Homo-oligomer: A and B are copies of this chain.
Amino acid sequence: MSDSISEITTKIQAFVDARDWRQFHDAKDLSVAIAAEAGELMQHFVWQQPGQIEKRVEARRDEIASEIADVGILLFELADNLGLNLGEVMQAKIANNEIRYPVEKARGNNLKYSEF
């Protein structure tokens, strides 16, 4: 099984094209689908208190993995459709976050950079 974003994206696009589904997958519809799947993932934790999270993850592991996969599949497709190299944009964002959240200011606190 591949660990490469590009290779997995190629498989996703082949799946979409074999079913002639591109027509339903403009950027808006993919964004809506991503948000819907992210909502399903979050649904597992609604009302859950911190001490209950681990147990909830163990009880629903397969469903949670399935929803994480769904978000990933749609995200990889959207990035590729927009001509973005997902690995590059993610690493550029991490580098950007390194600057906005320097260790000396950010360590151990959850403030947003605009609140430093």
Contact = CB atoms under 8 A, between A and B. Distances in A.
13 contacts: A3-B4, A5-B5, A8-B90, A15-B98, A27-B64, A31-B42, A32-B32, A32-B42, A38-B38, A50-B50, A68-B78, A72-B90, A76-B90
Task: Describe A's contact surface by its main secondary structure.
Answer: helix
Contacts of A79: 65, 68, 72
A94 B108 contact: no
Interface string A3-44: 111101001100100111101101111011111111111111
B39 A26 contact: no
B38 A35 contact: yes
A21 to B, nearest CB: 7
